[in-house]
A = this chain, B = another copy of it.
Amino acid sequence: MSQTAAPGDGTDCCPARPRSGGEAGSEREIVLVTGTGIDPALLEPLRLRGLELRTPPPLLSEDELIDALRGNVVAYLHGGEERATARALWEARHTLKVVAFLGVGYESFVDIRAADRLGIVVTNTPKAAADAVATFTVGQIINANWRIPRHLGDRYPYWRDPEELPHELAARTVGIIGMGTIGTRIARILTRGFGVRVAYYNRTRKPEIERELGIPFLTLHELAAASDILVVMVPETGKTRSMIDHGVIAEMRPGTILVNTARPAVVDPDALHAGLAEGRVGMAVFDGFYGRDLKAGRRLLDDFGDRLLVTGHIASHTRETMDRMVRQAVESIESVLQHKTSERSVGAHGRVCL
């Protein structure tokens, strides 16, 4: 097998790839499927095409993933929490044609630059989860505003001070960072459903949404200063990583609730620690937390665990959303295997030699 590029060597074009079905001969083609909650019935179209399914237990380490990708794995439906690293993709480069990511924010889970270089198509499932994530986020806004976890259990609340009482949602200003499909849905629910005052920041202004919902555009720093509850709903990219930094948190008024149901890395963990220590951040909500190996994340849990409301990346885990995402991913896999491309592909694979 001739191979010219090495992982991380910075070349922009991909190596010549052996034709699958060439060397592999009549060996069965395999689809690796990770994660839990996937309805096996929805994978049937792949089996009917003669593909074999491989479903390892969840939470794969890098080495376990490399093992799972061994053999004639041509497609990889990424529905778990594992990272498809440059090394793992490199090891699978001779057979793997497509990584179909279940969800939108693939950036933390798939090394897209490595995939691009190796000519592996990466797809995601845009919009499939918008309803679920928006509803979940609004639920967590209410939970954080009411400090619900503190009240679970049949315990009459002893408010030592009326200042401790939660504020009514309709009396709060909610700032939304990121007015994409999900952010817009959250803004609609809050304004139309609850009559909440909403303002937003987005890389580009959205005049039609401003008109529809009557919500003003503010700069990121203005929004941080104006909000009682600040919701982060941007994809993780090089530009958004640590977007909520010391500067943004310094603008917040004391007690601001920070709701991050996007990827954790969008919030700088050290800045958050300082914000919680100063009291500017009253409570922080995460759906999926900083990796277990990140010291700053552990420090947050140790020092301010009672002011963090953390769930394990479940916002999109509804039956309907999962089914929708799996159907899209299966379609993308079929499309790439057949036509070498998919309408849901992300990254720069279009520019590389397939």
Residue ranges of A at the interface with B (Cβ–Cβ < 8 Å): 36-39, 58-59, 81, 131-132, 135-136, 138-139, 142-143, 146, 148-149, 151-160, 162, 164-171, 188-190, 192-194, 286, 289, 301, 309-314, 317-322
Contacts and interface: CB of A to CB of B under 8 A. Distances in A.
The 8 closest A-B pairs by CB, nearest first: A193-B193, A139-B142, A37-B159, A168-B320, A36-B159, A39-B162, A165-B319, A154-B289
A112 to B, nearest CB: 22
A192 B190 CA distance: 10
A139 B135 contact: no
A150 to B, nearest CB: 10
A158 B58 contact: yes
5 contacts: A37-B157, A135-B168, A153-B311, A168-B320, A193-B194
Contact of A151 (B171, B194, B311, B318): B311
Contact of A312 (B81, B155, B311, B313): B155
A273 to B, nearest CB: 16
Contacts of A139: 139, 142-143, 146, 148
A132 B312 CA distance: 28
A312 B58 contact: no
A333 to B, nearest CB: 19
Contact of A319 (B135, B153, B167): B167
A167, A194, A301 pick with most chain B CB within 10 angstroms: A194
Contact of A321 (B39, B59, B168, B193): B168
A143 B168 CA distance: 18
Contacts of A149: 152
B154 A301 contact: yes
Contacts of A164: 37
Nearest to A161: B37
B58 A156 contact: yes
